[in-house]
Structure formats: structure tokens, C-alpha cells
Amino acid sequence: QVHLQESGPGLVKSSQTLSLTCTVSGASVTSSGHYCSWIRYRPGKGLEWIGYIYYSGTTYYNPSLESRVSISLDTSKNQFSLELTAPTAADTAVYHCARVRRDSTSWQYFENWGQGTPVTVSS
Amino acid sequence: QAVLSQPPSASGTPGQRVTISCSGTTSNVGSNTLNWIQFAPGTAPRLLIYGYDQRPSGVPDRFSASKSGTSASLAISGLQSEDEADYYCATWDDSLNTWVFGGGTKVTV
């Protein structure tokens, strides 16, 4: 059974960096054919894909957020992290981590999800 | 404004069949396979359908999906009270170079 759990501050100032961690159990963050992803849900805006990191370390980001986002792996702790610089109130959201599988047909799918953690950005 | 269009709500009585539509363009739904994801209160989101109509292990065959051109749909047959949740479609957009989602459909039983 694969389990993902997000952690991090629930309140972030706009002068800080929004930093979240996803701890994975039951699977390795370096499993072949898997991406580790972040997605957020903003009230009134819906779901938004932030980006993901492939097991090899290659990153892919949403072009609308690319200049402010960084996703990294910590293989020693079986975790992956999100950093979002210069956050504003528009970044207030529930942040979910997820594992995306790329299978032999090249289909990609959001195989496992974390329950999500709410983050509020204040000035 | 979500890139993929879904009806905001759908409802049915226990045992009925409910269908949720997802409409996009040639750069997303028309070019790539969809994920259908269930967001139920108090639980982690769950993948229901991927590929052409593949269900992960543990997802009952009451859930099925289809696609034609730039439109897709998720069907829930034999509706149960536990199916009350929000349902989202998602796929890759070749023009935007990002995953895109529908606005979500709230299913009431």
C-alpha cells in the first residue's frame, strides 16, 4: 500500500518561500517509470498542476509557474519537496503531492495521491 | 476557468447510472488519454480510470469511461451512496505543455 503525506507550514508570509515536503511510504521515490508531482487546488480556480520530477531527476514545470518553482528528491528520506518563491495570496491553496506513473504504453496517470495540506499566504 | 469543461453537478438515486462529460480540444482530450479522479471528503484523491478505459486495482467495474474526438465521459453505474464525491478529468495539453484539469463535477446520491 503506497501512502503519501504532505507536510509544511500552513501559513507563509509573502516575504518567505513556500516549502512543502511529501513523504512516501510503500514505494521508492526513485521507482523506474514514476514521476513525483505537486498539484494544488485553489478555491474558485480549481486544480492546477505545478510540476513533477522524474525518477532520473529531470524536472518538468507548469510554464505559468516555472520561474518560481523548484521540485527536488531526497532519496535518503524517500521524500520529495516543493519550493515556490515570492508567494502571493494567489498561491493560497490546498497542495497535494502525487506519484505519476508512465507505463510501457507511455500512458501517464496520477497513480497515488496525498490527502493535501492547506497553505495560506499572507502579506 | 478550467481548460476542460465539465458540468458542475450530477445526481442520481441508488442503483441508477450517472454520466459525467469532459470536453476539451484537439491539443488535449483529442490527442491524449484521460485520467478520471475522485475527490471524496476526508480521503486522498483516488484514480478511477486511465488510458482508454483502464481501472487500477481495487476500482470497481461500475466505473467506466469513453472518448470520442475532443469529448470524453465517465459513467457510474449502480450508483451507491459512497460515490458522493467530486470527479475530475485530467489530461496532458500538447499546446500548453502542462497537465490540465476539468472544473470538477459534484455527484450527489
SS3 string, A61-123, reads ECCCCCCCEEEEEECCCCEEEEEECCCCHHHCEEEEEEEEEECCCCCEEEEEECCCEEEEEEC
Chain B hits for A96, CB-CB cut-off 8 Å, are 45
Residue B91 has pLDDT above 90, yes or no: yes
Determine the pLDDT at residue B59.
97
What residues in chain A have per-residue pLDDT under 70? Answer: none
Secondary structure (3-state) at B83 = helix
CA distance B88 to chain A (A): 9
Determine the pLDDT at residue B96.
97
Chain B residue nearest residue A107, CA to CA:
B51
A4 touches chain B (CB under 8 A): yes
A114 touches chain B (CB under 8 A): yes
- Give me the residue from B51, B98, B101 closest to A46, CB to CB: B101
* pLDDT level of residue B81 (50, 70, 90 thresholds): very high
Secondary structure (3-state) at B22 = strand
C-alpha cell recorded at residue B80: 451507491
Determine the pLDDT at residue A123.
87
Closest CA to A18 of A103, A115, A90: A90
Inter-chain touch A46–B99, beta carbons under 8 Å: no
> Residues 50..69 of A with a Cβ closer than 8 Å to B: which?
62-64
pLDDT, one tens digit per residue, over B28-79 is 999 999 999 999 999 999 999 999 899 999 999 999 999 999 999 999 999 9
A115 touches chain B (CB under 8 A): yes
Characterize the bridge pairing of strands A117-122 and A59-61: unpaired
Q: What are the DSSP E strand ranges found in B40-97? A: 46-49, 63-68, 71-76, 85-93
Determine the pLDDT at residue B84.
97
Closest CA to B65 of B78, B56, B52: B52
Q: What percent of chain B has pLDDT over 90?
A: 97
* DSSP state letter for A45: T
Determine the pLDDT at residue A23.
98
Determine the pLDDT at residue A75.
94
